[in-house]
């Protein structure tokens, strides 16, 4: 049995989870890519456990909508416009967070996909993917580490991918960008453990978001259901993950219950890595 609403649902059985666990009361959490997909699920999840969430995204309309939904559900949220690939935009967005309170959590969810091997990837393609997926994490983590180091520490969680650990067909630029996220995560964890900063990353396999639906509609018009079934069946559990499942793991890593965890890349993949 669960209580709550939508992505705010938590087990009601006290043997399963005490309500005092995974609380983020009084903490400010900045979530990038929070207007949709995994980022939106993370923003809702963190707000449900007491954090004031900065909903960061370049899509103002969708970002404001997510922030409004959180407030309507009695949570605390502020929208912050951000283009993670632009240093000036990142700096301005973190200035917005400073106006809310002391930053305690950063979750980097902003990212884009790209299908193509090395011969099907132009320099412009490569630069675009790396600019958002890798440079964006660098810029946001740099802003967060500066603040967390000055105020006694906190938690950073980056969304990487199983593509950061194993080769996937036709994912040359994407895999390169997510490999960079994995190693930036470990580097930050090592360099700033003494500052009380924990830095981990989450490595999902396929997750069913609007990006998947848009990809299928663009490349397999009229065959969406068939191709979705094929993609789902490719994972040992026979389905894709959900944004809320990823958000649950992120919540743990942001919480004090994960206080002894840093520098780790967690697979959440329906068995893909464990059954290779």
For position 17, what pLDDT does the model report?
55
User: What are the beta bridge partners of residue 107?
Assistant: 31, 157
pLDDT in tens, 206-244: 999 988 888 889 889 999 999 899 989 989 999 999 999
For residues 246 and 154, membership in a common domain is answered with yes
Q: Do 36 and 133 have their domain in common?
A: yes
User: Is the pLDDT score of 80 beyond 70?
Assistant: yes
What is the per-residue pLDDT across 35-48, written as a single tens digit (0 to 9) for each?
A: 999 999 999 999 99
Positions marked active-site: 174
Same domain, yes or no: 164 and 216? no
In a domain, 267, yes or no: no
Residue 211: its pLDDT value, please?
83
Question: Given a cut of 90, is residue 79 above it in pLDDT?
Answer: yes
Q: Is the pLDDT of residue 100 over 50?
A: yes
| Residue 168 sits in the same domain as residue 214 | no
pLDDT reported for residue 3: 35
pLDDT of 179 above 60: yes
Residue-number span of the structural domain to which 139 is assigned: 2-205+242-262
The CA R_g of the chain, rounded to the nearest whole Å, is: 18
Confidence (pLDDT) at 274: 87
pLDDT digits (tens, 9 = 90+) for 109-119: 999 999 999 99
Q: How far apart are the first and last CA of the chain?
A: 34
The number of domains in the chain is: 2
Instruction: Point out the least confidently predicted range of 22-31, 53-62, 188-197, 226-235.
Output: 226-235
Q: How far is CA 183 from CA 5, 64, 106, 135, in A?
A: 36, 32, 17, 13
């Amino acid at each position: 049995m669960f209580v709550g609403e939508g992505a705010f649902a938590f087990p009601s059985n006290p043997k399963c989870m005490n309500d005092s666990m995974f609380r983020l009361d009084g903490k400010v959490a900045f979530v990038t890519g929070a207007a949709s997909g995994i980022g939106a699920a993370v923003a809702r999840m963190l707000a449900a456990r007491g954090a004031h969430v900065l909903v960061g995204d370049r899509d103002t309309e969708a970002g404001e909508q997510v922030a409004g939904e959180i407030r309507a559900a009695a949570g605390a949220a502020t929208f912050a416009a951000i283009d993670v690939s632009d240093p000036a935009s990142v700096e301005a967005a973190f200035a917005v967070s400073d106006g809310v309170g002391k930053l305690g959590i950063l979750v980097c969810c902003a990212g884009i996909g790209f299908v193509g091997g090395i011969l099907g990837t132009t320099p412009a393609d490569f630069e675009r993917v790396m600019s958002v997926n890798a440079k964006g994490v660098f810029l946001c983590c740099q802003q967060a580490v500066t603040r967390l180091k000055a105020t006694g520490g906190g938690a950073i969680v980056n969304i990487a991918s199983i593509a950061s650990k194993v080769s996937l067909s036709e994912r040359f630029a994407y895999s390169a960008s997510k490999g960079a996220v994995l190693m930036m995560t470990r580097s930050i964890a090592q360099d700033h453990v003494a500052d009380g900063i924990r830095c981990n990353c989450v490595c999902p396999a396929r997750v069913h978001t609007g990006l998947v639906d848009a990809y299928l509609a663009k490349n397999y018009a009229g065959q969406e259901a068939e191709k979705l079934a094929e993609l789902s069946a490719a994972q040992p559990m026979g389905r894709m993950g959900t944004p809320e499942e990823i958000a649950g793991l992120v919540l743990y890593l942001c919480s004090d219950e994960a206080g002894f965890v840093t520098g780790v890349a967690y697979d959440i993949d329906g068995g893909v890595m464990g059954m290779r």
